[in-house]
């Protein structure tokens, strides 16, 4: 979720870059930098921290009235947040720079090859390999566009790229694959950015690059090509009428809604480079635990708070089923006040979006003192939890602005799904064909989510019209739908202030059934799995007490349709173990629409903070 800005034209290039980067600050970042060509030389200024620091450093440079340049705000994914790892990244010759949003899956292999060929690397990022690859192919006599194409043929992963070379001081090259990049059209100048707000002060005529597009930006306009074939392609510009606030949210009313729609990309970014569909393989080099240590583990403890705790509850079902090892899921706020039994055969896995959660940090420190290895699941590179853990699996969800977690949760699930499969592969507890089925199911998940988001949103708006005035909700689920019921209830209470409770459906008779009457909406999560018949019986118990059933179930489930007045359809996946992803997203949308209908502050609900950094 880095911020990219590029410009070719007659304006003060540094001013355009800084203003554009300032418009993208809402995306979150840990470092920033700009590069431009002046008097035939390449100028590069970077710094850790906020744009104020970058502006201070630029004051030492002479004023520039026109030109060409690129800028970047970095949200770290590979390499800690510091000035050396900040973008733009430069090649060995100091004549070419690259800014990049995305993840290069095979960067380690490429880096080793380039080192063997004599290239010198300055950073520990995945992006820098692109600059060196382009340099390599430029020396073969190719022009810039052909060198970029050839370099990207070697690359696997997702990227939005802007490339500038002092050998072609009148043009920028832009490329997109799986990460957004937008171009601005205007008179004798051209712009590029990773999001719309950076371009609105200068033009509202925008071109949204498509996957596999390349473009050359110059004062004469923008030309588009196919990355695969090199042939010219036509692209149409669109006139945008959004105001600045709407632009930050990409046209969505709230950040939370934008982030719900970003979940297919967040899940994709989390598994890119870690799973290999079609060859039944999975890799997690960042774990840095020997096979003997992994095989010797006799227990796993997930340590988390709030939504992250729910992610751990889901993962317990996966890991106990696939790996055959006991799993405990602990609330970090309680764990530190117990006397847990720990040793070097107990793997402790703290889960945190921010990496700064105070209770979880305290738990980690206690665990390490008792000799257990610590493997964190986190979204923020360089955060305290990642520094204190022995290793980290990053989720790559990008910044999450809305206080109520959405894409951070599903990307945590993706990381935990991968962890479970990896452990089962190393310990030999899963058959190769079953592993292949689950890897393929995860690989297909972003497409499933994309295909249903609009439908789910429409159904959520209908449910909001019916239920936004209710004061109580009950959420029921069995198996790993139980933690999803907990998460659905949490989302509703967080942002709508409606009292909502999640329960294991089998526990309904042990108390909650007393609450059910004609005014009580009951959300029932009922995939057609091994506990489906049990769930149907629970729904019958609600109906017999005149409760209002809102059922979430599989497409084509006629039995469920006959029992519930309100039904939300969920696709039947190729492997039922990915159902938690598919059921939580429509629950998020229902909570969002109910809260919006009640006029609540969806992005900043009362009394809540994004990161709980005090006990």
Q: Give the least confident one: 220-229, 240-249, 278-287, 509-518.
A: 240-249
Query: Where do the H-state alpha helices sit in 347-383?
Result: 358-369
Contacts for 432 with CB less than 8 Å, ≥ 6 apart: 280
pLDDT in tens, 110-142: 999 999 999 999 998 889 999 999 999 997 666
Q: Give the least confident one: 75-79, 213-217, 371-375, 510-514.
A: 75-79
pLDDT band at 253 (very low <50, low <70, confident <90, very high): very high
Looking at residue 61, its pLDDT comes to: 72
Instruction: Identify the three-state secondary structure at position 542.
Output: helix
Q: Give the least confident one: 4-8, 236-240, 416-420.
A: 236-240
Number of Cα atoms under 13 Å in the Cβ half of residue 424: 27
Contacts for 379 with CB less than 8 Å, ≥ 6 apart: 352, 353, 354, 355, 394, 395, 396, 397, 398, 400, 408, 411
CA distance 356 to 361: 7
User: Domain 3-248 adopts which CATH fold?
Assistant: 3.60.20
Residue 613: pLDDT above 50?
no
Among residues 50, 253, 276, 610, the one annotated as catalytic is 610
Residue 611: pLDDT above 60?
no
Looking at residue 612, its pLDDT comes to: 58
Looking at residue 1, its pLDDT comes to: 59
CA distance 355 to 613: 10
CA distance 126 to 107: 5
Rounded mean pLDDT, 471-482: 96
Looking at residue 515, its pLDDT comes to: 87
CB 339 within 8 A of CB 367: no
CA distance 314 to 31: 34
Record the pTM: 0.77
CB 75 within 8 A of CB 111: no
Instruction: Identify the three-state secondary structure at position 552.
Output: strand
pLDDT band at 614 (very low <50, low <70, confident <90, very high): very low
Residue 71: pLDDT above 80?
yes
CB 80 within 8 A of CB 38: no
How is residue 534 written in tokens? 């049990």
Looking up tokens 């039994």, which residue turns up? 341
CA distance 352 to 372: 18
Residue 245: pLDDT above 70?
no
| Measured CA distances, 320 to 144, 317, 424, 461, 497 (Å) | 52, 6, 10, 37, 35
Q: Whats the size of the chain, residue-wise?
A: 615
Burial class (CB in 10 A: 0-12, 13-18, 19+), 395: buried
When mean pLDDT is compared over 59-73, 326-340, 569-583, the highest value belongs to 569-583
| pLDDT, greater one: 65 or 396 | 396
pLDDT in tens, 351-395: 998 887 878 888 999 999 899 999 999 987 777 888 889 999 999
CB 127 within 8 A of CB 104: yes
Burial class (CB in 10 A: 0-12, 13-18, 19+), 389: buried
Residue 244: pLDDT above 70?
no
Looking up tokens 């793997």, which residue turns up? 347
Q: How far apart are the first and last CA of the chain?
A: 30
Which residue, 116, 125, 212, 202, is CA-closest to 161? 212
How is residue 371 written in tokens? 């000799």
Q: What is the mean pLDDT of the chain?
A: 91
Looking at residue 242, its pLDDT comes to: 65
Q: What angle do helix axes 144-153 and 128-138 make, rounded to 10 degrees?
A: 120
Instruction: Identify the three-state secondary structure at position 525.
Output: strand
pLDDT in tens, 534-553: 999 999 999 989 899 999 99
Among residues 2, 305, 378, 600, the one annotated as catalytic is 2
Looking at residue 23, its pLDDT comes to: 83
| pLDDT, greater one: 603 or 242 | 603
Rounded mean pLDDT, 562-576: 94
How is residue 409 written in tokens? 């949760």
Active-site residue 305, yes or no?
no
pLDDT in tens, 165-180: 999 999 999 999 878 8
| CA-atom Rg of the chain in angstroms | 25
How is residue 552 written in tokens? 């979430």
pLDDT in tens, 291-341: 898 999 999 999 999 999 999 999 999 999 999 999 999 999 899 888 889
**E strands within 492-608?**
499-504, 521-526, 548-554, 566-570
Looking at residue 49, its pLDDT comes to: 87
Q: What angle do helix axes 13-23 and 51-58 make, rounded to 10 degrees?
A: 170
Which residue, 72, 61, 62, 95, is CA-closest to 169? 95
Helices and strands (H and E) in the chain: how many: 19, 27
Active-site residue 2, yes or no?
yes
Task: Give the domain ranges of the chain.
Answer: 3-248, 258-597
Rounded mean pLDDT, 57-79: 80
> Does the structural domain 258-597 have CATH classification 3.40.50.620?
no
């Amino acid at each position: 979720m880095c911020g990219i800005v590029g410009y070719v034209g007659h304006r003060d290039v540094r001013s355009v870059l800084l203003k554009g980067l300032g418009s993208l600050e809402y995306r979150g970042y840990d470092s920033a930098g700009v590069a431009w060509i002046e008097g035939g030389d390449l100028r590069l200024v970077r710094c850790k921290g906020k744009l104020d620091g970058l502006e201070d450093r630029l004051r030492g440079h002479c004023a520039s009235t026109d030109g060409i340049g690129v800028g970047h705000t970095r949200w770290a994914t590979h390499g800690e947040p510091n000035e050396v790892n900040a973008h733009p990244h430069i090649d060995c010759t100091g004549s070419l720079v690259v800014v990049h949003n995305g993840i290069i899956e095979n960067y380690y292999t490429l880096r080793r090859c380039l080192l063997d060929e004599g290239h010198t690397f300055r950073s520990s990022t995945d992006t820098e390999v692109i600059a060196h690859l382009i340099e390599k192919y430029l020396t073969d006599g190719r022009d810039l566009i052909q060198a970029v194409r050839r370099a990207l043929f070697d690359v696997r992963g997702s990227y939005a790229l802007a490339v500038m070379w002092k050998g072609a001081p009148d043009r920028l090259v832009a490329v997109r694959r799986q990460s957004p990049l937008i171009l601005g059209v205007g008179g004798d100048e051209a712009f590029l950015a990773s999001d719309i707000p950076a371009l609105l002060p200068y033009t509202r005529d925008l071109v949204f690059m498509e996957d596999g597009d390349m473009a050359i930006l110059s004062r004469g306009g923008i030309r588009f090509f196919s990355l695969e074939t090199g042939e010219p392609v036509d692209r149409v510009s669109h006139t945008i009428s959004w105001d600045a606030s709407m632009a930050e949210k990409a046209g969505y009313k709230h950040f939370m809604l934008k982030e719900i729609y970003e979940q297919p990309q967040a899940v994709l970014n989390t598994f890119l480079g870690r799973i290999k569909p079609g060859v039944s393989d999975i890799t997690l080099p960042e774990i840095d635990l020997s096979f003997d240590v992994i095989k010797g583990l006799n227990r796993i403890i997930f340590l988390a708070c709030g939504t992250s705790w729910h992610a751990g509850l889901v993962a317990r079902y996966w890991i106990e089923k696939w790996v055959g090892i006991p799993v405990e899921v602990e609330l970090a706020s309680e764990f530190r006040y117990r006397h847990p039994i720990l040793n070097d055969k107990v793997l402790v896995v703290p889960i945190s979006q921010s990496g700064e959660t105070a209770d979880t940090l305290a738990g980690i420190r206690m665990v390490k003192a008792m000799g257990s290895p610590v493997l964190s699941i986190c979204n923020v590179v360089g955060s305290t939890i990642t520094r204190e853990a022995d290793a980290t699996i990053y989720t790559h969800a990008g910044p999450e602005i809305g206080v109520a977690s959405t894409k951070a949760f599903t990307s945590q699930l993706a990381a935990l799904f991968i962890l479970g499969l990896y452990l089962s592969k190393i310990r030999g507890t899963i058959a190769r064909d079953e592993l292949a089925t689950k890897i393929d199911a995860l690989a297909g998940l972003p497409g499933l989510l994309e295909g249903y988001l609009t439908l789910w949103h429409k159904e959520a708006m209908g449910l909001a019209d019916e239920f936004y005035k209710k004061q109580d909700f009950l959420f029921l689920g069995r198996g790993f739908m139980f933690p999803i019921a907990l998460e659905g209830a949490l989302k509703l209470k967080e942002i709508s202030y409606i009292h909502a409770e999640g329960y294991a459906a089998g526990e309904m008779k042990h108390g909650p059934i007393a609450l059910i009457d004609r005014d009580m909406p009951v959300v029932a999560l009922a995939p057609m799995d091994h506990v489906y018949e049990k769930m149907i019986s629970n729904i019958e118990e609600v109906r017999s007490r005149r409760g209002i059933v809102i059922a979430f179930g599989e497409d084509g489930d006629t039995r469920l349709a006959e029992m519930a007045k309100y039904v939300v359809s969920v696709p039947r996946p190729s492997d039922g173990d990915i159902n938690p992803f598919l059921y939580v997203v429509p629950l998020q949308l229902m909570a969002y629409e109910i809260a919006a209908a009640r006029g609540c502050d969806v992005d900043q609900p009362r009394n809540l903070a994004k990161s709980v950094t005090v006990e």
